[in-house]
């Protein structure tokens, strides 16, 4: 899995305006079923990770723990973001493929 490619895809997704970030915004997006994928930083608190894992499982939303807060934030052009949500189904799918170690064609 190439972390740089995943960060690149996150950057593209952010430029396309298809990223939600921050715990409250992502929580609301899960509740409203407006998000297809949630990524929580590896260096988040255990409480945050478990909270979002449970919310995603209950709402049938894909969930990953990936990257450090600083790197994830930089990828989407923000500061200190622990939780990122992807709104677009196709972009979420492309990111998931990368997270699972597969290649994205194109």
Adjacent-strand bridge partners of 95: none
Residue 59 lies in a domain: yes
What's this model's pTM, rounded to 2 decimal places? 0.93
CATH number (domain holding residue 30): 3.30.1330.30
E-strand ranges in the chain read 19-21, 37-40, 62-65, 83-86
pLDDT score recorded for residue 2? 80
Q: Which domain holds residue 10?
A: 3-99
The pLDDT tens digits of the residues spanning 3-47 come to 999 999 999 999 999 999 999 999 999 999 999 999 999 999 999
Q: Domain count of the chain?
A: 1
Residue 104 lies in a domain: no
Residue 106 lies in a domain: no
Distance CA 57, CA 48 (A): 14
Q: Are 8 and 72 in contact (CB under 8 A)?
A: no
The pLDDT tens digits of the residues spanning 75-92 come to 999 999 999 999 999 999
Is the pLDDT confidence value at 106 over 70?
Answer: no
């Amino acid at each position: 899995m190439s972390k740089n490619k995943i960060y690149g895809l996150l950057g593209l997704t952010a430029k396309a305006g298809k990223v939600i970030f921050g715990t409250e915004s992502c929580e609301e997006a899960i509740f409203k079923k407006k998000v297809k994928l949630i990524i929580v930083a590896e260096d988040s608190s255990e409480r945050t990770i478990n909270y979002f894992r449970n919310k995603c499982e209950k709402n049938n939303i894909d969930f990953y723990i990936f990257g450090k807060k600083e790197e994830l934030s930089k990828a989407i052009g923000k500061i200190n973001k622990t939780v990122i949500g992807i709104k677009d189904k196709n972009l979420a799918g492309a990111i998931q493929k990368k997270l699972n170690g597969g290649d994205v064609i194109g």
